[in-house]
C-alpha cells in the first residue's frame, strides 16, 4: 500500500477552479485502486498547534501499489487542469 498526505493550499478566489478539479480527480482515485481515506477542511479554530499556514484542505489517500498511484498521477482527465 502507498499512503499519501496532501496538504492543499489554493490561491485567493480560486475555490471554484479547485472544486472543478476535485470533481474530476476524486472519482478517479478508485479507478486506480485507491481510496480517499480522509478529506478535511480545517479552520483556525480547530487547529491545536501549527507551524504552517492553515491549509484549505488535507487529504489522506491510499493506493494499492506504486504503479496504481503513478497511473493516477498521469490520467489525462486530471492533468488537463494543470498543463
pLDDT attached to residue 81: 76
Predicted local distance difference test score (pLDDT) of residue 78: 84
Q: What is the pTM of this model?
A: 0.86
pLDDT of residue 79: 80
Q: How far apart are CA 54 and CA 50, in angstroms?
A: 8
- pLDDT for res 31: 97
CATH code of the domain containing 53: 3.30.70.100
Give the domain range for residue 43: 2-79
Q: What is the mean pLDDT of each run of 10 residues along the chain (83 residues)?
A: 97 93 95 98 93 96 98 90 68
Q: Which residues contact 12 (CB under 8 A, 6 or more apart)?
A: none
Residue 3 confidence (pLDDT) = 98
Please give the Cα distance from 6 to 4 (Å, whole number): 6
Number of domains in the chain: 1
Amino acid at each position: 500500500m502507498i499512503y499519501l498526505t496532501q496538504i492543499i493550499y489554493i490561491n485567493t478566489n480560486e475555490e471554484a477552479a479547485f472544486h472543478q478539479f476535485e470533481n474530476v480527480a476524486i472519482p478517479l482515485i478508485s479507478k486506480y485502486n485507491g481510496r480517499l481515506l480522509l478529506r478535511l477542511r480545517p479552520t483556525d479554530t480547530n487547529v491545536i498547534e501549527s507551524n504552517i499556514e492553515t491549509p484549505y484542505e488535507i487529504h489522506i489517500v491510499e493506493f494499492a501499489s506504486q504503479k496504481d498511484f503513478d497511473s493516477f498521477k498521469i490520467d489525462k482527465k486530471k492533468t488537463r487542469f494543470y498543463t
